[in-house]
Amino acid sequence: MKNVHDMVEAAKAQIREIPLEKSEDAIKQADLLIDVREADEFHAGHIPGALNIPRGILEFKLTNDPALEDRGLNIVIYCKNSGRSALSAKAMKEMGYMHVQSIAGGIEAWQEANKPVITPELPDFG
C-alpha cells in the first residue's frame, strides 16, 4: 500500500523539478507562478507575483478558468516543501500542460535562502 511519501516520490520521478538556485530565472521566464498551498499559508507569506490556487481545487480551477486553459503556458509551481507541488505538477502533466516546473524545497527553501517574500498587510479597522 502506498503512502503520501511514496506518491510524492513517484510524482517527482515524472515531473520537472528545478533546483532553488535556478528558480528565480525560471520564474522570470514563466507565464504563471502558482502557489498551491492553502489560502492561510499564502497570506502568511508568498513569492512575489504568485497566484494562489490551493492543491485541493487546482484541477477544477484549471478546467474552469479560460485564462488557464492554454496547455502551452510556461508554469512554475511551489508549495511549502515541494510535496504538494510535485503532486500538482504530475496532475497538470496528466491534464496536458507541457511546461510545468516545481521548485525543489518549496517556499521553505526559498525563505532559508533569504529570497523575497510578500506578506500582505491586513487592513486595520480599529
Mean pLDDT value across residues 35-52: 96
Flag whether 121 is in a domain: no
**34 inside domain:** yes
Whether 108 is in a domain gets the answer: yes
**Residue 13 counted as domain residue:** yes
Does the structure show a pLDDT above 90 at 124? no
In the prediction, which pLDDT does 93 show? 97
Q: What is the pTM of this model?
A: 0.92
Residue that is written with C-alpha cell 507541457 in the block? 98
pLDDT at 120: 77
CATH number of the domain residue 50 falls in: 3.40.250.10
pLDDT at 23: 96
Residue 126 has a pLDDT of: 63
With respect to residue 124, please indicate whether it lies within any of the assigned structural domains. Answer: no
Return the closest-CA partner of residue 39 out of 50, 28, 48. 50
Query: Is it the case that residue 21 has pLDDT exceeding 90?
Result: yes
Residue 106 has pLDDT above 90, yes or no: yes
CB-CB contact of 75 with 32 (8 Å): yes
Q: What's the residue count for the chain?
A: 126
* Residue 88 belongs to some domain of the structure: yes
Residue 23 lies in a domain: yes
Return d(Cα 21, Cα 23) in angstroms, integer: 6
121 falls in which pLDDT band (50, 70, 90)? confident
What per-residue confidence (pLDDT) applies to 51?
96
* Mean pLDDT on 35-45: 96
The predicted-structure confidence for 64-97, as pLDDT tens digits, reads as follows 999 999 999 999 999 999 999 999 999 999 999 9
Q: Indicate the number of domains in the chain.
A: 1
- Domain containing residue 56: 4-112
